[in-house]
């Protein structure tokens, strides 16, 4: 009877998984083998592998995702560690989560206002006599905005890993003569690697397929696989090629998940 109840309550989850995860993936995979005339072909994959343009887009996607993930990790770890030390940690954590409640498009347009020629940064630069500068439509602005948007998703798993550490382990390390740095390297860092891995997955994987931010902030300078998919589905109507690039992105995301999967190893102090 308990197994039947378990199956009954799990049924909505399985239906959701089948309709909104498995079915779209199957459709994309099937569509990737069709040409513009709906005929079965492997030409889409051959064209992708033989095209220097697509290979450059793939490199750009991975490189930008790497930079965005690296920047967010550098900022997120100390922020998460500091928040974990506060008594009012819930308040500060709420401030981290709050930006995620704002629509992504609104945040992007806010940065257009900040970084634009007549934005607040250029206004300040003109005020101090440095003149206006082209801040929008640059690689730096794209990475900055993307890192800001993805930052909460790096902070949260690292914060959860830090607060899960028993204070007695840290105190024991210090009492045994270890320095603060040695305690971090041999106790805190190994015990938070799972959180770091989860944060890398949460940031790197979405960063591979960014397209709206690349258009609005990066302009035509930033071309990734996400923008290529948008172009094929909405402009050229070449759904087969767009689906092929989508399959490549899915495979890349699976590789990232496998490389960052630390669940079997488990974090432990060394």
From the centroid of its chain, how far is CA 43? 31
Provide the pLDDT for residue 250.
Answer: 92
Asked if 257 and 67 touch (Cβ cutoff 8 Å), the reply is no
Query: Residue 265 burial by CB count (10 A; 0-12/13-18/19+): exposed, middle or buried?
Result: exposed
Provide the pLDDT for residue 4.
Answer: 72
Provide the pLDDT for residue 263.
Answer: 56
pLDDT tens-digit series, residues 142-173: 999 999 999 999 999 999 999 999 999 999 99
Phi, then psi, of 152 in degrees rounded to 5? -60, -30
| CATH match for 51-259 among 3.30.365.10, 1.10.3720.10, 3.30.1330.60, 3.10.20.30 | 1.10.3720.10
Provide the pLDDT for residue 2.
Answer: 67
pLDDT tens-digit series, residues 82-101: 999 998 899 999 999 999 99
Range with lowest mean pLDDT among 24-38, 174-188, 194-208, 220-234: 220-234
> Considering only CA atoms, which of 99, 207, 96, 210 is closest in space to residue 158?
96
Provide the pLDDT for residue 203.
Answer: 95
Q: Distance between CA 158 and CA 164 in Å, rounded?
A: 10
Q: Distance between CA 160 and CA 89 in Å, rounded?
A: 12
For the whole prediction, is pTM greater than 0.75?
yes
Point out which residues pair with 40 in neighbouring strands. 34
pLDDT tens-digit series, residues 22-61: 999 999 999 999 998 889 999 999 999 999 999 999 999 9
Question: Is the predicted pLDDT of residue 187 greater than 90, yes or no?
Answer: yes
Provide the pLDDT for residue 270.
Answer: 54
Arithmetic mean of pLDDT over the chain: 89
Residue with tokens 């550490």: 165
> Where does the pLDDT of residue 269 fall: very low under 50, low under 70, confident under 90, or very high at 90 and above?
low
Question: Is the predicted pLDDT of residue 268 greater than 60, yes or no?
Answer: no
3-state secondary structure the chain: CHHHHHHHHHHHHHHHHHHHHHHHHHHHHHHCCECCCCCECCHHHHHHHHCHHHHHHHHHHHHHHHHHHHHHHHHHHHHHHHHHHCCCHHHHHHHHHHHHHCCHHHHHHHHHHHHCCCCHHHHHHHHCCCCCCCCCCCHHHHHHHHHHHHHHHHHHHHHHHHHCCCHHHHHHHHHCCCCHHHHHHHHHHHHHHHHHHHHHHHHHHHHHCCCHHHHHHHHHHCCCHHHHHHHHHHCCCCHHHHHHHHHHHHHHHHHHHHHCCCCCCCCCCC
Provide the pLDDT for residue 111.
Answer: 93
Q: What percent of the chain has pLDDT over 70?
A: 96
Question: Is the predicted pLDDT of residue 130 greater than 90, yes or no?
Answer: no
Provide the pLDDT for residue 230.
Answer: 87
> Where does the pLDDT of residue 5 fall: very low under 50, low under 70, confident under 90, or very high at 90 and above?
confident
Residue with tokens 């806010």: 110
């Amino acid at each position: 009877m308990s197994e039947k109840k378990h199956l009954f309550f799990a049924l909505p989850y399985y239906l959701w998984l089948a309709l909104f995860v498995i079915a779209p993936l199957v459709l994309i995979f099937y569509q990737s083998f069709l040409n513009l005339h709906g005929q079965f072909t492997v030409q889409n994959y051959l064209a992708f592998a033989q095209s220097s343009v697509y290979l450059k887009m793939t490199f750009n996607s991975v490189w930008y995702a790497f930079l965005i993930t690296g920047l967010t990790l550098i900022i997120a770890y100390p922020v998460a560690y500091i928040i974990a030390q506060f008594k009012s940690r819930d308040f500060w954590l709420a401030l981290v989560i709050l930006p995620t409640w704002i629509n992504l498009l609104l945040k992007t347009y806010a940065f257009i206002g900040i970084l634009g020629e007549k934005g607040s940064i250029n206004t300040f630069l003109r005020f101090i006599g440095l003149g206006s500068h082209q801040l929008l439509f640059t690689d730096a602005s794209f990475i900055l905005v993307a890192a800001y948007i993805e930052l909460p998703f790096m902070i949260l798993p690292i914060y959860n890993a830090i607060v899960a550490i028993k204070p007695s382990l840290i105190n024991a390390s210090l009492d045994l003569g270890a320095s603060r740095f040695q305690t971090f390297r041999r106790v805190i860092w190994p015990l938070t690697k799972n959180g770091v891995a989860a944060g890398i997955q949460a940031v790197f994987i979405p960063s591979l397929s960014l397209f709206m931010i690349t258009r609005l902030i990066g302009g035509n300078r930033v071309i990734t696989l996400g923008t290529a998919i948008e172009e094929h589905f909405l402009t050229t109507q070449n759904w087969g090629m767009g689906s092929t690039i989508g399959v490549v992105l899915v495979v890349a995301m699976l590789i990232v998940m496998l490389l960052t999967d630390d669940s079997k190893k488990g974090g432990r102090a060394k």
